[in-house]
Structure 1
Amino acid sequence: MADTFDDLENLIACPHCDALYHVVSPKVGERAVCHRCHAVLIAPKRRAGMSIIMLALSVIVLVFGSIWFPFLTIHTSGFSNSATLLDAAFAFTDGPLLLLSLPVLALIVVIPLARVMLLIYVLWPVVLDRKPYQKAREAFLLSEKLRPWSMAEIFALGCAVALVKVADLALIGFGPAFYMFCTLVVIIVVQDNYMCRWSIWASLDPERDV
């Protein structure tokens, strides 16, 4: 790490401990790691852009599948019922509780879907070696700001806890949407860990040669 930091465009800060470094771009397959907290700062990968786009398209398909197909079926005392993911999101529809259903739907469906669509918008021209679309940097920034609010995995954990508590009272069956949603959660986690954000920002540089 250098003693002075006058060239701001060639600096990178660790997102975990705020240590400041001069950027030295590693080769494909190598990693730049923070010396203080060992967080990975830069990790370029071959054909990463296309891989992220394919994962994003998979998330879109799984989101719509999770909405359309039954999520859970419940059998008890000779009665049975099934619920979709939307039914679960809108479980609180009485009076003021409706205001709780809308954020739940946004956190588990709308925001994850918006994030992957923004990533496709940002990365598609990059993987084709074309000039980034207008407002691509703003789109990627919005995607990153939405990341803490994408809570599909939190909803999945909540469902798991609820199912354990209900299992003694009724026979629970898992519909196709349940497995789609679980796969969706795994893909989102893999995508976020696979993504090299520094490489994406660098590819969106307006002065980048295409």
Structure 2
Amino acid sequence: MTKPQLRECPGCGLFQIVPAMAPGLRSNCTRCGTVLRVSRVDPLNRHLALTFAAMVLFVVVWEGMLMKVSAVGIVRETILESGPRELVARGLWPIAIAVAFTTAYAPLGKFLATLYVLIGLKLRHPPPRIRDAFLLSRRLNTWCMLEVLLLGVFVAYTKLGDLVTIELGPAVYALGVLTVVWVWAEVAFDPHAAWEEIERRGLTHAPMPADPPLAWRPGAMGCEGCGLVCVPAETDGHCPRCGSMVHERKPNSVSRTWALVLAAVVLYIPANVYPVLTVIQLGAGEPSTIMGGVEELLDSGMYPLAALVFFASIMVPLFKLLGLGSMLTATQLGRPGAGASILIHERTVLYHVVAWIGRWSMVDIFMESLLGALVQFGRAVTIEPGVGALAFCAVVFITIFAAETFDPRLMWDAAGRNPHRAPASRPDGAALAPSASAS
């Protein structure tokens, strides 16, 4: 059984008590439904075993052959590293950095940091800065896109069928297994259990109180790094457990998110106007935009693949921009009202969808990286990434940053649903700390 703890919901800002939970239970916010904690059976040991397995598979993915293609008597073998190298050779080094970071450096950093923490917690004398390593591993989660890479490999394989003879290598199968293992590891993990073990071993940033308070106090805030509710004025502005700076709300959230959204809107136009890919066969070929690629797939009868590319590359970025714009507008124009909670609840759900779905737009970038590395057969057939891919990659990254910058609690503040934010009234802890629902 876990211990009861006071939490601030990251979705709406309501302070509430997460009750004691047996393994296999989930605690949701009583107001907006945001998941506050999911308890698991033996979460640390299972996550350690699965992370170690993922690390082994990760080495196979990057060292093994990905695909073998042949055309006009020429055979080419490629590994995942070939894609970023080819992009650098063609002057598209920003895309090469994005591909390498999301498929190599971020996953590698996450796996190594997780192993460092979980193995260190088993030692009698843990290594230093375990809390910093665990913070890093959780923050890299957003940028680990192995499952998106697997989908990009599938799209590239399908598109290459009419151009060259293709054979899948062991790295593709290892990538499929790695994706399953990595998702399994995340589902079987309870990050709060790791933070509690760090706290139990005395590896915190500052001494922890013997009995954590279960009632709200003036000035109390929830740490975005580990979820601990503390009063930063008493701890020099830092979370006593993980050492992160504690803010009542994300600093300058609205202005920073608006700036990123507007930048993404500007880049969204060249991303769809300029070519992202050029297929040259026998010395002839025409540049293709994102929509042009969708039309080519439709002409070839690949309707499911065309729908996938259209949704991931055109609709998802547009959906994110419209969703973020509506949430920002609601925050700035929010007014207290009888039906406000229902509308804000829907926008909070929209925020979680927007924050999760944006990564899947990288499918097109991964596909172009693989195609550019695989199909290089001189005048017979060659595929070259275009400058439109650079603008599109920037749109994907900027919208991910925008979703991370926006604070959905501000929508509830603007509608007057968080009375502890009002300077004129300070409700007592009992009113602000109901018990969260558990199921």
| Interval containing the TM-score (normalised by the shorter chain) | 0.7 to 0.9
Partner residue in 2 for 1:6: none
Partner residue in 2 for 1:114: 109
Deviation at 1:184, TM superposition (A): 1.3
Deviation at 1:131, TM superposition (A): 6.2
Q: Tell me which of 23, 26, 32 is aligned to 1:31.
A: 26
Cα distance in structure 2, aligned partners of 1:132 and 1:16 = 34
Cα distance in structure 2, aligned partners of 1:131 and 1:140 = 17
TM-score normalised by length of structure 2: 0.42
Partner residue in 2 for 1:84: 79
Task: List runs of 5+ in structure 2 lacking aligned partners.
Answer: 203-439
Partner residue in 2 for 1:5: none
Q: Which moved more, 1:114-123 or 1:23-32?
A: 23-32
Partner residue in 1 for 2:118: 123
- Does 1:187 pair with 2:181? yes
Cα distance in structure 1, aligned partners of 2:188 and 2:32 = 19
> Do the aligned partners of 1:42 and 1:199 also contact (CA within 8 Å) in 2?
no
Partner residue in 2 for 1:50: 45
Q: Which moved more, 1:66-75 or 1:36-45?
A: 36-45
Residue type matched to 1:72 in 2? M
Q: Is the alpha carbon distance of 1:207 and 1:180 closer, same or farther for their aligned partners in structure 2, counting shifts above 3 Å?
A: closer
Q: Is the alpha carbon distance of 1:160 and 1:19 closer, same or farther for their aligned partners in structure 2, counting shifts above 3 Å?
A: farther
Cα distance in structure 2, aligned partners of 1:198 and 1:18 = 19
Cα distance in structure 1, aligned partners of 2:102 and 2:92 = 16
- Does 1:104 pair with 2:99? yes
> Do the aligned partners of 1:132 and 1:204 also contact (CA within 8 Å) in 2?
no
> Do the aligned partners of 2:9 and 2:34 also contact (CA within 8 Å) in 1?
yes
Task: List runs of 5+ in structure 1 lacking aligned partners.
Answer: 1-8
> Do the aligned partners of 1:90 and 1:105 also contact (CA within 8 Å) in 2?
no
- Aligned residue for 1:81, secondary structure, equals strand
Q: Is the alpha carbon distance of 1:204 and 1:25 closer, same or farther for their aligned partners in structure 2, counting shifts above 3 Å?
A: farther
Q: Tell me which of 151, 155, 158 is aligned to 1:161.
A: 155
Q: Which moved more, 1:88-97 or 1:137-146?
A: 88-97
Deviation at 1:70, TM superposition (A): 0.5
Question: Percent identity at matched positions?
Answer: 26
> Do the aligned partners of 1:122 and 1:139 also contact (CA within 8 Å) in 2?
yes
Q: Considering only aligned residues, what root-mean-square deviation do their CA atoms show, in Å?
A: 2.5
Deviation at 1:95, TM superposition (A): 5.4
Cα distance in structure 1, aligned partners of 2:39 and 2:52 = 21
Q: Which moved more, 1:103-112 or 1:129-138?
A: 129-138
Q: Which moved more, 1:164-173 or 1:130-139?
A: 130-139
Q: Tell me which of 134, 139, 145 is aligned to 1:145.
A: 139
Cα distance in structure 2, aligned partners of 1:12 and 1:115 = 26
> Do the aligned partners of 2:18 and 2:36 also contact (CA within 8 Å) in 1?
no
- Aligned residue for 1:75, secondary structure, equals strand
> Do the aligned partners of 1:59 and 1:113 also contact (CA within 8 Å) in 2?
no
Partner residue in 2 for 1:72: 67
Q: Is the alpha carbon distance of 1:193 and 1:30 closer, same or farther for their aligned partners in structure 2, counting shifts above 3 Å?
A: same
Q: Is the alpha carbon distance of 1:47 and 1:75 closer, same or farther for their aligned partners in structure 2, counting shifts above 3 Å?
A: same
After superposition, what is the alpha-carbon deviation per residue over 1:85-141, rounded to whole angstroms, capped at 9, x for unaligned? 111232212253234323311210111111011111112243x37565421111111
Residue type matched to 1:12 in 2? R
Cα distance in structure 2, aligned partners of 1:35 and 1:120 = 34
- Aligned residue for 2:87, secondary structure, equals coil
> Do the aligned partners of 2:120 and 2:130 also contact (CA within 8 Å) in 1?
no
The count of residues paired between Structure 1 and Structure 2 equals: 200
- Aligned residue for 1:120, secondary structure, equals helix
Higher Cα radius of gyration: 2
Q: Is the alpha carbon distance of 1:48 and 1:86 closer, same or farther for their aligned partners in structure 2, counting shifts above 3 Å?
A: same
Deviation at 1:39, TM superposition (A): 4.2
Q: Is the alpha carbon distance of 1:181 and 1:15 closer, same or farther for their aligned partners in structure 2, counting shifts above 3 Å?
A: farther
After superposition, what is the alpha-carbon deviation per residue over 1:142-168, rounded to whole angstroms, capped at 9, x for unaligned? 111111111122222222222222211
Deviation at 1:29, TM superposition (A): 2.9
Partner residue in 1 for 2:393: none
Deviation at 1:207, TM superposition (A): 6.2
> Do the aligned partners of 1:90 and 1:102 also contact (CA within 8 Å) in 2?
no
